[in-house]
Structure formats: C-alpha cells, structure tokens
Amino acid sequence: MVQRSRVPYLWLALGVACLLFGSYQGLFVAPAEQYMGDVQRIMYVHVPTAWNWMLAVIFSFIVAIGFLFTNDYKWDARLEAGLEVSVLLAFLLCCQGSIWAKPTWGVWWDWDPRLTSTAVLLFSMLGILALRRFVEDAPRRAIWSAVATIIASVDLPIVYMSVKWWNSLHQQQSTPQTVASAFHLPLRVNALGILFLMIGFLMLRTRLAALRLEHELAAPPLYAHEEAGELA
C-alpha cells in the first residue's frame, strides 16, 4: 500500500523558498562579474542545476543497482523517478547553457565535449524512459531499464572530466577559491533550493510509479476468481 505523506510537499515548499531567496540575491544583490557583466547571473541557476543533475544521475545509478540486487519493485519505482527528474534537470541545464552561450560564445550551441556528452546522457535517459513505456512485462521492464541506466551512467564521469581531458570551449570546474566570495551565497542557496525541489519531486514521482506498479501487479479479476474457485 502506497503511503500518502505530506513530507514531499514540505521539501517542495522549502525548495521554492530557497530558490526565491537565492534568485533575489543572484539577480539584485550580488555584483556583476568583471568580464561577463550581468550575464554571469545565469550561473546562479545553471551551476546548481548541473550539480543536482549529477546527483539525480548518481541516484538513478544507485537505485538501478539496488533493483538488480534485491529484485524489489520499490527500487524500480525509485528508478523511474530518478530517470524522469534527471531528464528534467538535463533539459534545463542544456537550455540555460544555451542561453548563456549566445551572449558569451556567440552561438547557441557548440559540439564541444562537455555539451555533447551531456546531450548524450540526456537522450540516453529519455531513451530508457521510452523503453519503459514500450515494455509491458513489469519484470523484464525493470531489469532492462536498470541495466540500461547503469550503462548510460558511465557517461557521467566523462561529462565531469571532459573539460580536463579535451580542449573544451566550456570552462573548467570552479572551486570556492576561484570564485569571489560575493558569488557564494546565491550559488549555495539556489543549489539547496534545487536539491530540496528535487527531493520533493523524487518522492512524489516514486509514489506515482509505485501506485502504477501496484495497479499493474495486482491480480486481474479473472485470475482472482479462478484462484478463489480453487481454494473453495
């Protein structure tokens, strides 16, 4: 039986509050960057989205392994949630990056290693979600999508290291030492905001997937009738 707790809504409310405060700080309080000017303010949503997207992919990878080890459908429901939230964040990440690239690089998109490897992971996860729609047999669907998620997740370290391994147009990872302290607050508060939103979304989406599975795996009326007849 799937529980109906209000906890996910609390996470969502906390996430919205953090995002509103962080965005206010990023848009109106933090100073403009020396070279990128006001366009740099896009970083206060782009970078936190990237961090949380990576967490969502790691979550999907862990729950995929969890399913293969336990064969418990709770893990499959979590996997479906992880995949969908990963796709949402990857899509946002690519769009925000594009909007930032136009005024700074002069193009909306470039097939550079970081962008290309991110797009590959986005479409891989979209493909796994499509696969789940097409396979009607629940055990087969769960195993196939868990294996496909583990294979797709191999791309995540490539995304992370791409700016170091290849000559990339995308800048390398920043650290607190390379970012001015005036930029820390909006970055961190927005990162927490998106993290809390993501937790709320994951919990609700897991509940939705579990409800669907519960309906799907319940014995059909004919079968239940035959079973009752056998027992009588």
Partner 1 sequence: MNTGIVQGGWEFVVAAYALTGTAFLVYGISLWTRLRREQK
Binding site for partner 1 (CB under 8 A): 4, 12, 19, 23, 27, 34-39, 41-42, 45-46, 49, 88, 91-92, 95-96, 99-100, 102-104, 197, 201, 204-205, 207-208, 211-212, 215
- The closest of 98, 93, 117, 96 to 109, measured between CA atoms, is 98
Closest CB to partner 1 among 84 and 155? 84
Collect all residues with Cβ–Cβ distance below 8 Å to 70 and sequence separation of at least 6: none
Cα–Cα distance for residue pair 41/190, rounded to 1 Å = 12
Closest CB to partner 1 among 88 and 150? 88
Closest CB to partner 1 among 16 and 135? 16
How big is the CA angle at 183 (ends 179 and 188), to the nearest 5 degrees? 100
Q: What is the three-class DSSP state of 33? A: strand
DSSP one-letter code for 165: H
Shortest spacing between CB 92 and partner 1, in angstroms? 5
Cα–Cα distance for residue pair 187/30, rounded to 1 Å = 10
Collect all residues with Cβ–Cβ distance below 8 Å to 166 and sequence separation of at least 6: 113
End-to-end CA distance of the chain: 27
Q: How many CB atoms within 10 Å of residue 173?
A: 12
Cα–Cα distance for residue pair 230/79, rounded to 1 Å = 37
Shortest spacing between CB 8 and partner 1, in angstroms? 9
Closest CB to partner 1 among 154 and 180? 180
Closest CB to partner 1 among 29 and 151? 29
Closest CB to partner 1 among 96 and 116? 96
Q: What is the three-class DSSP state of 108? A: coil
Task: Return the structure tokens found at 127.
Answer: 């493909």
Shortest spacing between CB 73 and partner 1, in angstroms? 15
Shortest spacing between CB 38 and partner 1, in angstroms? 5
Shortest spacing between CB 231 and partner 1, in angstroms? 30
Shortest spacing between CB 85 and partner 1, in angstroms? 8
Closest CB to partner 1 among 38 and 226? 38
Shortest spacing between CB 41 and partner 1, in angstroms? 5
